[in-house]
Amino acid sequence: MEQMIVTIKNGSVEIEIEGARGARCVELTQAIEKLIGKVDKKYYKKGFYCNTENKQNIYLNLCEGKTNL
C-alpha cells in the first residue's frame, strides 16, 4: 500500500513515500512539489532504485562500444 507522509517543521516540508517502487514515488510527489515551490533536497530510498518489473538492463561501456548483458 502506498502512503505519503508529510511533515512540516520550522517552515520546512518533508515528504516521505512508503510502499512505492521505482519512479512511482516521484509521480506521487509531483503535485505537492508544485504547490510548495522550490525543492531544496531530494533523497531516494532503496525502493526508488528497484525496477517495478524486476527486470534490469546492464550496459558495459567498452572501448568498442556498448555491450548488452
Q: What is the pLDDT of residues 13-63, one digit of tens each?
A: 889 999 888 888 899 999 888 988 888 888 888 888 876 554 555 566 666
Output 66 or 48, whichever has higher pLDDT.
Answer: 48
Whole-Å CA distances, 54 to 20, 22, 23, 49: 14, 10, 13, 11
Give the pLDDT of residue 20: 87
DSSP 23: T
Give the pLDDT of residue 13: 87
Q: Can you give the residue ranges of every domain in the chain? A: 3-68
